Structure 1
Amino acid sequence: MRSPRSLPALVSLRAFEAAARRLSFSLAGEELYVTQSAISHHIQKLEAELGAALFERRTRAVALTPAGQAYYERVHAAFELLRQGTEDIRAPQRPRRRLRIGLLSSFATRWLAPRLPAFSAAHPDIELQLQPDIGLADVAGGEVDAAIRYGRGTWPGVRARQLMRERLSVVCAPSLIAGRKRPRSPQDLLRHPLLTSHSHNPFEWPAWARLTGVDLGGAQNVPLHDYNIVIEAALAGQGVAMGRHRMIAAQLASGALVEALPGLALDDPRIGWWLVTPRGAADPDVQTLHDWLVEAAVQTGAPV
């Protein structure tokens, strides 16, 4: 019986197989994450051990010698057996389960998207398929598996669980209220256009008006398609917007947006972001998403 020592080192055999398969020392080095000189060293060592030249070195290329070609066919076949055996014994990967999530594009881009890698890392077997739309996805009818909605949680025919509260205050570009233009009362804000986003049940400005006792009857309302557009318009100084602090935390922190009347905020515990699902038993993957969203919201802190 031959001693195992009669076999060349595995690292030398790997270097030879890769170089012979690709007919390039440099490409073999890239494949094995070593330098070209390391590949050359391993092959020279193998040739010395075998007592036979395996490659013909040419100016800008290499070629297998007849001995090298014959040896490569055996070594390559052996490595293929090893690769196949390894794949066969590995536990099959669990198929990813897909969750279709309806949500506003503003929530998707401003809050959820930066956190998706963390969710994927924590739950690699769940794939979130986001379906942004300003319309309300039909959760009860099975259009989506769940939806993330903004409001007070009063949608009929579904189950709504609050993920996080939202804080509202009127915000704008600093230049809009600089110097003598600074408002002294809520009524002063009505000198500027009120930037609003599409909603099936608009409540933000009416709720703020009730809080402050302001009559919105003479206000100039500028309806915009999406809350992302509202924020861009506010940043450009085109009017005042109802700032959802969860969505504009970065702009408030940088000073790109400021509170028009600091300290005057609408803190209604019913207003926030909700996970909406069909009534009945909760899907385990949807429950996983719910728990993760709540934890992520807690980590970002309460709206300030």
Structure 2
Amino acid sequence: MRTSPLLPPLHALRAFEAVARHAGVSRASHELLITQSAISQHVRRLEQHLGTALFFRHGRGMTLTEAGQHYYDTVSRAFAVIADGTAALAGRRVVRVSVLPSFAAHWLGPRLASFRAAHPDVEVALDPNLTAADFAGDGVDLAVRYGDGHWPGAEASLLMTERLTPVHAPNAAPIETLPLLITKKAFDWKVWAETERFDLAAPPQVQLTDYNVVLQAALRGEGLALGRLSLIGELIAKGQLVTPFATVVRSTKAAYWLVRPSTRTPSAPARTFAAWISDEASLEV
């Protein structure tokens, strides 16, 4: 049986997709377990087959041309369809969800038992991750992200706005002496500070990798953290953290969003999970 003359070799398509996703040959070579030279040859032959350049090549790596971006969208979508079809044929109904580690630990994880009870035929595979979801490369169906709802190449629907107020350990030093414990972007601190007319530049700051690390530092009395009350209500109820300010700020600029690829129709398990998590989030006060 001969392959259609319009369909490029599969190994060339896999090489192209990996190089496009990683913006270079080195990591694509590591992923596919073939040499960088072989990767480059596959991509060049694909370009010859298509009669158009797919990449701009420069010292820092490779970036897609306009034609390459359109083709990557098509190829990555096709690979996702094949992956979903393979899972369905194997009798597996899996939804792959990329989620922030803090959200997974403090909000989603404790609620998953209720999802499993309601939908025993759907397996949830969580990918705790701080980076932007790579729907094509990571095989992710959905993502939960924290921010303002704007992520390129994705559609986002609001799950819930976060309730923000500073917190610290009850045995911490006087509040006016505490440094601010912040994550890398700290946009939620900015949302709170704008509402409260608080000068973020006045106190010292300690930047930490993610919100789980911030919480641990706050629990040890090392500074003032911005409490995300959807995640830490239990810590406050137990008296492990206290809220020195009366005001709680809410904004869609600091909210949890359900993110999905704009170029792919969600699978049935993904739609089931999306409906469930949306219902769960709607119960938040």
Render the CA deviation track for 1:62-106: whole Å, top value 9, x for unaligned: xxxxxxxxxxxxxxxxxxxxxxxxxxxxxxxx9231121111111
**Which position in structure 1 is the counterpart of 2:251?**
268
TM-score, length of structure 1 as denominator length? 0.60
Letter of the 2:148 counterpart: R
Identity level (%): 41
The counterpart of 1:210, out of the listed 186, 194, 204, is: 194
The counterpart of 1:148, out of the listed 144, 150, 157, is: 144
The counterpart of 1:237, out of the listed 221, 224, 227, is: 221
Letter of the 1:279 counterpart: S
- Structure-to-structure mapping, 1:16-95, within 5 angstroms: 95=91
Q: Distance in 1 between matches of 2:153 and 2:252?
A: 22
Residues 1:197 and 2:183 aligned together? yes
**Which position in structure 2 is the counterpart of 1:104?**
100
Q: Distance in 1 between matches of 2:169 and 2:271?
A: 39
Q: SS of 1:208's equivalent?
A: helix
Q: Distance in 2 between matches of 1:115 and 1:214?
A: 35
**Which position in structure 1 is the counterpart of 2:208?**
224
Alpha-carbon distance, 1:298 to partner = 3.1
**Which position in structure 2 is the counterpart of 1:163?**
159
Render the CA deviation track for 1:233-260: whole Å, top value 9, x for unaligned: 1111000001101110101111111112
Alpha-carbon distance, 1:143 to partner = 3.9
Q: Distance in 1 between matches of 2:130 and 2:187?
A: 16
TM-score, length of structure 2 as denominator length? 0.63
The counterpart of 1:129, out of the listed 104, 125, 132, is: 125
Render the CA deviation track for 1:177-207: whole Å, top value 9, x for unaligned: 6xxx3x5xxxx4xx311111234xx311222
**Which position in structure 2 is the counterpart of 1:120?**
116
- State whether residues 179 and 206 of structure 2, in contact with CA within 8 Å, keep that contact through their aligned partners in structure 1: yes
Q: Distance in 1 between matches of 2:137 and 2:260?
A: 10
**Which position in structure 2 is the counterpart of 1:90?**
none
Letter of the 1:120 counterpart: R
Alpha-carbon distance, 1:229 to partner = 1.2
Q: SS of 2:172's equivalent?
A: helix
RMSD of aligned residue pairs (Cα, Å): 1.9
The counterpart of 2:237, out of the listed 222, 241, 253, is: 253
Single out whichever of 225-234 and 214-223 deviates more from structure 2: 214-223
Alpha-carbon distance, 1:269 to partner = 3.9
Alpha-carbon distance, 1:141 to partner = 5.3
**Which position in structure 2 is the counterpart of 1:78?**
none
Q: SS of 1:217's equivalent?
A: coil
Render the CA deviation track for 1:251-288: whole Å, top value 9, x for unaligned: 11111111121x22211144321110011533332221
Q: Distance in 2 between matches of 1:139 and 1:219?
A: 39
Letter of the 2:168 counterpart: C
Q: Which structure's CA Rg is the greater one?
A: 1
Q: SS of 2:130's equivalent?
A: coil
Alignment size in residue pairs: 195
The structure 1 segments of at least 4 consecutive aligned residues displaced by more than 3 Å after TM superposition are: 140-143
**Which position in structure 2 is the counterpart of 1:72?**
none
**Which position in structure 1 is the counterpart of 2:21?**
none
Q: Distance in 2 between matches of 1:245 and 1:268?
A: 13
- State whether residues 163 and 290 of structure 1, in contact with CA within 8 Å, keep that contact through their aligned partners in structure 2: no
List runs of 5+ in structure 1 lacking aligned partners: 1-93
